[in-house]
């Protein structure tokens, strides 16, 4: 017996010796370092009484995070850490809420908090993100940190020095600001009428808005290719179990990707308000929807086959309680900081017999750099928060001043050897429009068109009257000989046998969600009898409507007028629910081709989808977007769309 006991002790000692020699510290925690900063936090806002919370009195939690940063829309790694600190959940547990809209909407799911630091920076978390997760206590105010050092490479990641907010579920680290000192509790300002016990509860379409402005209205979910099924338990905080049926849908993050520009600020402050037809609404942060490192993606479910349950619903997979599940979704409204909205600009410089074997490499390079310069000009205006109308007008002015395009300076000649110019501009936000036709002495017809829109009660002015009006508006009037270019004159001599065309156009989406379209042309070489083409005819060569798209056309104008090309594309979207790309293709590649109308269009919708189809050999075209996408193309074997 004694011997056995001795043997047992001997064995135990070897085991413990080997454990000390080689520990099982799987995460290779390095020493823990205290962070400098206040250990107190003020909680204010929609609370019964402002309170200062002493963090040391709360339980300590630990989370591990891999931090990254966003540089030029690419994600780069910073380091891996373990943070110890105090959970926002525990901090806010100490206060009594006083929600300002309590009487009208008692649920707490429309609350969010702003965490502000000493420097005045702030980041946002939804109440749901703090209170509802399956895995709680993932958002901390950290007061100490340890590096997680890789066992072989032994990389020593930069060590934070100050207390900081740590958002444990974020993929791109944008919300981890230093020295947090204050938490402000707020509720959404968005107003939706509460309709209790609606039956049947049905919302046919789901609006997607940015800062309250509609960007699209969906009757179908887009084919994102990201459908998934969650086997889960649907359990509410009040009523408990609702069901155990699986949920199948697409990722909400995919649906939203076209509506914001990724930046640290957008991830820090962006909020999504999701509301059902009955006025039930919840607050989500953009970060929890599109910036997760735990793959607990929220789903959008299409219930078209389920009687009376409403078309679209949201399933918040990351939440333990299903309170933020929204049925019959009527609207998703993204509240984004300035600069967070998308913008896009697309230009064209005419379509026609443009092919590689007919163009010298020098000319090709010249056209490409010109188109790039045009898109850059418009992009700079939009990126500063300028309007789509300004971007369109200024970009087209530049193209008009260049002798390379058939508009303004480079306008083609009529049969009689003159230059007669047409231009139009349209504002998609209110369908206001202006056009000039057959003008011979206005240096920048696009600006004259804008003046007609803004400073006259009319839509279209032509000839001498248009010039008189432009002069009263202070626009530059030039001698008709200004438009003489030897190249175009030679074109005329050739075109006396063979007709040619070309035009410039621009469509833009600004950060406010407004669309605009502009088009300017010298018309068709060798045109006669004061012929007017499609360009100044609203709905033919130029059209813009925020509810659908902005279109600028180039091609054989008579066909574009007869087929009301611009408006037809818009109508196919409005009445038939086609996407901007399907609608543009249908009109340009099928209808016009059947009719014998050569040319192309550039078209852009409010979500920044770009379509540039043409049925000729080539079309000068280019675009730039807030997401960093850019392209300059000429030939038919190059891209003709950019879709999200
Ligand atoms: N559409 C213009 C017109 O017919 C010419 C062109 O775009 O080429 O006047």
- The tens digit of pLDDT for each residue in 547-575 reads 999 999 999 999 999 999 999 999 999 99
Give the per-residue pLDDT at 16: 43
Which ligand 1 atom lies nearest to the CA of residue 352? 8
Tell me the mean pLDDT in the region 509-518: 94
- Give domain status of residue 229, yes or no: yes
- At residue 64 the predicted structure's pLDDT band, cuts being 50, 70 and 90, is very high
- At residue 209 the predicted structure's pLDDT band, cuts being 50, 70 and 90, is very high
pLDDT score of 497 more than 90:
no
Is residue 347 within 8 Å of residue 504, measured between CB atoms? yes
- At residue 495 the predicted structure's pLDDT band, cuts being 50, 70 and 90, is low
Here the tokens at position 565 are: 């090309």
Q: Are residues 513 and 624 in the same domain?
A: yes
Tell me the mean pLDDT in the region 223-245: 87
pTM as predicted: 0.76
- At residue 214 the predicted structure's pLDDT band, cuts being 50, 70 and 90, is confident
Which ligand 1 atom lies nearest to the CA of residue 560? 1
Q: Are residues 609 and 478 in the same domain?
A: yes
- At residue 213 the predicted structure's pLDDT band, cuts being 50, 70 and 90, is confident
Instruction: Give the residue whose CA is nearest to atom 7 of ligand 1.
Output: 554
- Give domain status of residue 398, yes or no: yes
- Give domain status of residue 178, yes or no: yes
Domain boundary among 279, 314, 335: 335
Within 10 Å of residue 221's Cβ, how many Cβ atoms? 18
pLDDT digits (tens, 9 = 90+) for 295-308: 999 999 998 877 66
Domain boundary among 303, 335, 367: 335
What CATH number should be reported for the domain holding residue 362? 3.60.20.30
- Give domain status of residue 200, yes or no: no
Is residue 222 within 8 Å of residue 148, measured between CB atoms? no
Q: Are residues 407 and 528 in the same domain?
A: yes
Q: Are residues 471 and 578 in the same domain?
A: yes
- Give domain status of residue 15, yes or no: no
Q: Are residues 477 and 609 in the same domain?
A: yes
- Give domain status of residue 3, yes or no: no
530-563 burial: b if 16+ Cβ within 10 Å, else e: ebbbbbbbbbbbbbbbbebbbbbbbbbbebbbeb
Residue-number span of the structural domain to which 361 is assigned: 345-636
- CB of residue 521 inside a 6 A radius of ligand 1: yes
| 70 Cβ contact partners less than 8 Å away, ≥ 6 residues apart | 172, 174, 262, 263, 264, 267
Q: Are residues 477 and 602 in the same domain?
A: yes
SS3 482: helix
- Tell me how many degrees the CA angle 602-353-597 measures, rounded to the nearest 5: 60
- Give domain status of residue 20, yes or no: no
What CATH number should be reported for the domain holding residue 68? 3.90.420.10
Q: Are residues 327 and 353 in the same domain?
A: no
Give the per-residue pLDDT at 15: 43
Q: Are residues 377 and 494 in the same domain?
A: yes
Question: Which of 438, 439, 530, 541 has the most ligand 1 atoms within 8 A of CB, as the residue to mutate?
Answer: 541
Q: Are residues 329 and 363 in the same domain?
A: no
Which positions are annotated as active-site residues?
Answer: 503
pLDDT digits (tens, 9 = 90+) for 16-48: 444 444 666 777 768 999 999 999 999 999 999
Question: Which of 410, 495, 500, 523 has the most ligand 1 atoms within 8 A of CB, as the residue to mutate?
Answer: 523
Tell me the mean pLDDT in the region 408-433: 92
Domain boundary among 335, 367, 393: 335
pLDDT score of 474 more than 70:
yes
Q: Are residues 354 and 448 in the same domain?
A: yes
pLDDT digits (tens, 9 = 90+) for 95-149: 999 999 999 999 999 999 999 999 999 999 999 999 999 999 999 999 999 999 9
- CB of residue 350 inside a 6 A radius of ligand 1: yes
What is the percent of the chain with per-residue pLDDT over 90, rounded to a whole number?
A: 73
Sign of CA dihedral 76, 79, 81, 85: negative
- CB of residue 541 inside a 6 A radius of ligand 1: yes
């Amino acid at each position: 017996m004694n011997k056995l006991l001795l043997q047992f002790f001997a064995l135990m000692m070897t085991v413990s010796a080997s454990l000390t020699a080689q520990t099982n510290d799987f995460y290779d925690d390095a020493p823990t370092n205290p962070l400098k900063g206040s250990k107190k936090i003020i909680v204010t806002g929609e609370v019964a009484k402002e309170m200062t919370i002493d963090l040391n009195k709360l339980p300590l939690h630990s989370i591990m995070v891999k931090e990254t940063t966003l540089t030029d829309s690419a994600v780069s790694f910073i380091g891996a850490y373990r943070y110890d600190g105090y959970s926002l959940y525990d901090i806010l547990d100490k206060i009594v809420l006083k929600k300002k809209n309590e009487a009208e909407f008692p649920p707490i799911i429309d609350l969010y908090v702003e965490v502000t630091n000493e420097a005045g920076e702030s980041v946002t978390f939804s109440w749901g993100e703090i209170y509802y997760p399956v895995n709680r206590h993932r958002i901390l105010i950290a007061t100490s940190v340890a590096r997680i050092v890789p066992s072989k490479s032994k990389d020593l990641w930069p060590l934070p020095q100050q207390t900081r907010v740590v958002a444990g579920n974020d993929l791109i680290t944008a919300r981890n600001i230093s020295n947090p000192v204050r938490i402000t509790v707020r509720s959404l300002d968005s107003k939706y009428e509460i309709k209790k016990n609606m039956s049947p509860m049905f919302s046919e379409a789901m609006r997607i808005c940015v800062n309250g402005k509609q960007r699209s209205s969906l009757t179908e979910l887009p084919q994102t290719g990201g459908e998934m099924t969650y086997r889960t338990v649907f359990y509410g905080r009040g009523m408990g179990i609702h069901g155990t049926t699986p949920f199948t849908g697409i990722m909400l993050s995919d649906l939203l990707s076209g509506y914001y520009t990724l930046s640290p600020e957008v991830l820090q402050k962006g909020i999504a308000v999701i509301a059902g037809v009955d006025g039930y609404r919840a607050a989500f942060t953009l970060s929890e929807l599109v910036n997760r490192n735990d793959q607990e993606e929220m789903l959008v479910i299409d219930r078209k086959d389920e009687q009376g349950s409403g078309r679209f619903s949201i399933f918040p997979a990351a939440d333990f309680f299903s309170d933020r599940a929204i049925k019959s979704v009527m609207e998703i409204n993204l509240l984004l900081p300035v600069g967070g909205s998308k913008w896009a600009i697309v230009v064209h410089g005419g379509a026609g017999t443009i092919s590689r074997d007919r163009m010298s490499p020098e000319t090709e390079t010249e056209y490409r750099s010109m188109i790039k310069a045009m898109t850059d000009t418009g992009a700079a205006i939009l990126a500063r928060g300028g309007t789509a109308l300004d971007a369109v007008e200024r970009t087209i002015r530049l193209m008009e001043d260049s002798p390379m395009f058939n508009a303004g300076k480079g306008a083609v000649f009529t049969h009689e050897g003159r230059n007669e110019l047409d231009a139009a501009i349209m504002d998609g936000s209110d369908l206001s429009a202006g056009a000039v036709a057959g003008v011979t002495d206005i240096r920048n017809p696009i600006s004259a068109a804008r003046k007609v829109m803004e400073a006259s009660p009319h839509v279209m002015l032509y000839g001498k009257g248009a010039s008189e009006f432009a002069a009263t508006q202070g626009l530059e009037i030039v001698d008709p000989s200004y438009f003489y270019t030897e190249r175009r004159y030679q074109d005329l001599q050739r075109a006396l046998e063979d007709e040619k065309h070309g035009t410039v156009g621009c469509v833009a989406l600004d950060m406010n969600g407004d669309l605009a379209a502009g088009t300017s042309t010298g018309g068709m070489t060798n045109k006669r009898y004061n012929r007017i083409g499609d360009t100044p005819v609203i709905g033919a060569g130029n059209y813009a409507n925020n509810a659908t798209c902005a279109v600028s056309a180039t091609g054989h104008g008579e066909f574009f007028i007869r087929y009301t090309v611009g408006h037809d594309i818009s109508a196919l979207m409005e009445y038939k629910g086609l996407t901007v790309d399907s609608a543009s293709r249908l009109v340009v590649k099928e209808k016009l081709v059947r009719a014998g109308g050569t040319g192309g269009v550039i078209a852009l919708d409010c979500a920044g989808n770009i379509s540039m189809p043409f049925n000729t050999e080539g079309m000068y075209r280019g675009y730039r977007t807030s997401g960093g996408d850019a392209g300059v193309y000429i030939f038919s074997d190059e891209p003709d769309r950019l879709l999200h």
